[in-house]
A = this chain, B = another copy of it.
Amino acid sequence: METFEVKKMKTNPMNNKIEISAKNIIAVASGKGGVGKSTVSVNLALALVSKGKKVGVLDADIYGPNVPLMLGIRGEKATSDGSKIIPIKKHGLEIMSVGFITEENKALIWRGPLANKLIEQFLGDVAWGELDYLIIDLPPGTGDVPLSIIQKLNLTGAVIVTTPQEAAIADVVKMINMFETTNNKILGIVENMKYITCPDSQTKIELFPRSDDNDFSGFKYETISTFPFIPGIGNKDKNGIPFYLRNREHETSKEYDNLAKKVMTV
């Protein structure tokens, strides 16, 4: 693994938060993995770019840094200007990922303290441009790393991504508690993978049918977007173009535009 020495970080002495040159910092969080958090992060970021915003994406999911794959960035490593790590630019985004500073396919047996140190570096030591929005793809869950991140940043707010399944709902409640406990604003819930459309019969097949226990009505935060499951939405095409950019008129791309607008009203 390549490592970068952690330089003195710029922190605000009033509250010990790391300062980042972004007008808004939006955390995209989920209780469970595999619910589409990275997909939502990337497509939300691209939708914000299409509205003329300067946007950065920080892929902080140390256990599965998927953002580079989705954006068609492969094999690139982060470079340093001597004091800061330089984000990679693609599709109008500035992108930084744990994936850029680790060898692909190497066993990333992160121990807690190492993970936190790496993440602190990410937070304070990336040479972002002057961003309107920094979208942070958090690791799933309420563990050490997501907690450290949200405690060290002045978040504008959090978007919580979930699938409408019983096991995920309990996790959403835990996520809500984590953000409330740390005095952060929750912008709303994004319900993902609600159904899949059969290409032959056009039937909308519910992926997570309700049982007695999966009921979204109990959350005190609004569901601000609902997305279907789209096979291949996480894949780039052969030219490395992600779903949103190659399907601008798709109803799901338009729903990402709506989500971006909601985020912009905060």
Which A residues contact B (CB, under 8 angstroms)? 31-35, 38, 63-64, 66, 69-70, 74, 104-113, 115, 140-144, 147, 163, 165-167, 170-171, 173-174, 177-178, 181, 196, 198-201, 203, 205-209, 211-214, 229, 231-232, 234-238
Contacts and interface: CB of A to CB of B under 8 A. Distances in A.
Contact of A143 (B115, B235, B236): B115
B207 A235 contact: no
Contact of A170 (B105, B209, B237): B105
Given A69-B167, A106-B174, 20 more contacts: A32-B33, A34-B35, A66-B167, A69-B166, A69-B213, A70-B167, A105-B173, A105-B174, A107-B174, A108-B174, A109-B143, A109-B147, A110-B142, A111-B144, A165-B234, A166-B235, A196-B196, A196-B205, A198-B205, A205-B231
16 contacts: A32-B64, A105-B170, A105-B173, A107-B178, A109-B142, A109-B181, A112-B113, A166-B235, A196-B196, A196-B205, A200-B201, A207-B229, A208-B231, A209-B231, A209-B232, A211-B235
Contacts of A32: 33-34, 63-64
Contact of A198 (B115, B200, B229): B200
Contacts of A110: 142-144
A172 B173 CA distance: 29
A214 B237 CA distance: 12
Contacts of A147: 109, 111
Contacts of A107: 142, 174, 177-178, 181
A211 B235 CA distance: 7
> Which of A70, A200, A206 is most buried by chain B, counting CB atoms within 10 A of its CB?
A200
In the complex, the 10 A-B pairs of residues with the closest C-beta atoms, listed nearest first: A34-B34, A33-B33, A112-B112, A107-B177, A63-B141, A198-B198, A201-B201, A211-B235, A66-B167, A200-B201
Contacts of A206: 231
